[in-house]
Structure 1
Amino acid sequence: MKHIYIFGSVVRGEIDQYSDIDLLLITDDLIKNIDTNKYSVYTPNRIHELFEEGNPFAWHLYYESKLVYSSDDVDFLSKLGKPSEYSNCKSDLLKFKTLFDDSKASIKENDFSIVFDLAMIFLAIRNFATCYTLGCYETPIFSRLTFEKLTDFPLKLDYEIKDMLMMSRISSTRGIDYTFEDKSLTLLKSNLNKIENWFNEILVNYESRV
């Protein structure tokens, strides 16, 4: 049994110079020589578990996936229905805030792993914002730039900073060489407190809701 879905930016029509095609392969078969940079591979049981857990990835697939191939003419994800309620919002918010804190501390300590640290900051900002919308919005936002699309606490960053963070993330995940000018890093460092305040403001707001 094999099911292939396209998901993410292409499905939501958010295509830009940073976009690639996200493909999900659901199968019990042992497949050799598959390009894991191109496919996210899961077993049917694992996908079912994610839907039962109300995992953010399950919700992402629920809102933004489209079947492109089925070996048995069955839409596997559609049959699963709606994922369970997302119940780990607080712990996920704290997890991504910690990731930001650790990356910020690493950047201030030295520049040895600067691209990786910047990639982790982008991951923390994006996933924190997405989890917040999943836990608090009627319709969650699954976007690379969810953080600036929040209706209540948008994080607005200069284009130069956003580009550096996104390119660092792409470099880390796709193995693409990336360098930037010192002035860009200086600008980012001058915005770290602003970003930290954004995290804290949302955490305080979330605590007031629950």
Structure 2
Amino acid sequence: MSEGDGLDIILQQIRQCRLCEPDLPLGANPVIRAHREARILIVGQAPGIRVHQTSIPWNDPSGDRLRSWLNIDRDTFYNERQIAIMPMGLCYPGKGRSGDLPPRKECAPQWHQRVLDELPNIALTLLIGQYAQNYYLPNKPKTLTDTVRNWSQWSPDAIPLPHPSPRNTLWLKKHPWFESEVVPFIRNRVHQLLAI
């Protein structure tokens, strides 16, 4: 088995996963992108309905804002040899009272470490939203705001971000330091890694 075969096998297993299907309103459609050469990993929440329908991660207004924060185009963003994308929940979880339901809790323990073991070149992990931060930053502050405000304690290896959803526009207005201080650092780091 050559390098990369292990990841290909795991990705195939993930895409065939039906572990939570009885609880998914639109059925299972695990969405993940990864390549052994990737240097950046984006860990988000869970696919939204548009991502579920297209099987393309971040294929929505949240993705547009995220690409704007990173200052990269769609071609770069979707180049698996550069950027791996692995949400906390791999399938669309359904609608809740105020947006989508939380990501399914089964996915990350079932799949994440197996994928990470096959991504030896990751130099930056972007942890987007509270679910990714709670899972990967065990000693973080209690609130997302305080976690993002203290981003430098995990950089340059990992950086916590708020979710780029249009629902978070008010949060961004209340916390202008995120776009004036954190976004420029992330852009520089991402572009450094993409240039290697």
Q: Which has the higher contact order (CA 8 A, sep 6+)?
A: 2
Greater share of helix residues, 1 or 2? 1
Instruction: Assess same fold via TM > 0.5.
Output: no
TM-score, with structure 2 as normaliser? 0.28
